[in-house]
Amino acid sequence: MDNQIESSPGKNSIYISHDILKSLVEKYNTKIKIVYDKRNRSKIMVEPENLVETAIFLRDHYGFDHAESASGTDYPKDNEIEINYHLGSYSNQDLLPYILVLSTKINRNDPKSNSLINIFPSVEYHERETYEMLGVYFIGHPRNERFLLPEDWADIPPLRKEFRIKGR
């Protein structure tokens, strides 16, 4: 049985990450911000209107094919919510150990963001979870509905910072 993965994975990932970030900066120049570039992990911040476009570019040019996770973080001080997509690849051998964090910041008072469900179907439940936990409405997602919380939940989204656990 040929159980070994072809070629040694991850060997080129560091070069690939430079390559990806460089081409993204060339394409979007000031509209994109590189937050960090560590070993096997990079994070880029894009404007909300460029989110879908960047995701399509990453999928088509570099073979990112699934999202490991999609989540949101609440920043009440800046009046912002940050949406993070952790993108990975199963098909591009060089990208196996690499995770690219595609993130965007949206207004906290009117939290709406474009859904990536048509580009990465694997974000479906993660986005739905973010909808109920942080109240972010995903434009284009077929079901912005309750998922994990009880059916009779009648409070603010629990992962917002002003939601306090009782007794704490």
Partner 1 sequence: MSTLEEKIDEAKNLSMQIVKDSEEDRLMTLSVGPQHPGSGHFRFVIKIDGDYIVYVDPDPGYVHRGHEKMCEYRNFFQNIPHLERPVIHDSCNITYSYSLAIEDLIGITVPRRGQFIRAIASELNRLVYTEYWLAIYGIFLGHSTMFMWPAGDRELIIDLLERLTGHRVTHAFNIPGGVRNDMPYNFKEKCLTQVNYFEKRLKEYEHIFYNNPLLRQRTEGVGILSKEDAIKLGVTGSVLRASGVPYDIRKVEPYDVYDEIDFNVQYMKTCDSFARAYVPYLDMIESCHIIRQLLDKIPESGDVREKLLSNVKGPPGESFKRIESGRGALSYHIVSDGTSRAYRVKMSVGSFRNLLALPFLLVGSKLGDMPPIYWSLNYWPVEADR
Q: Which residues bind partner 1 (CB under 8 A)?
A: 1, 3-5, 9-10, 36, 40-41, 43, 65-69, 71, 73-74, 84, 86, 90-91, 96-97, 99, 101, 120-126, 133, 147-150, 158-159, 163, 165, 168
Tell me how far, at minimum, the Cβ of 48 lies from partner 1, in Å: 20
> With b meaning 16 or more CB within 10 Å and e meaning fewer, what string describes 66-103?
ebeebbbebeeeeebbbbbbbbbbeeebbbbebbbbbb
Nearer to partner 1, 26 or 150 (CB): 150
Tell me how far, at minimum, the Cβ of 54 lies from partner 1, in Å: 18
Nearer to partner 1, 21 or 27 (CB): 21
What are the backbone angles phi and psi of residue 92, rounded to the nearest 5°?
Answer: -85, 110
Neighbours of 13 (CB within 10 A): 19
CA dist., res. 163 & res. 122, Å (int):
29
Nearer to partner 1, 150 or 154 (CB): 150
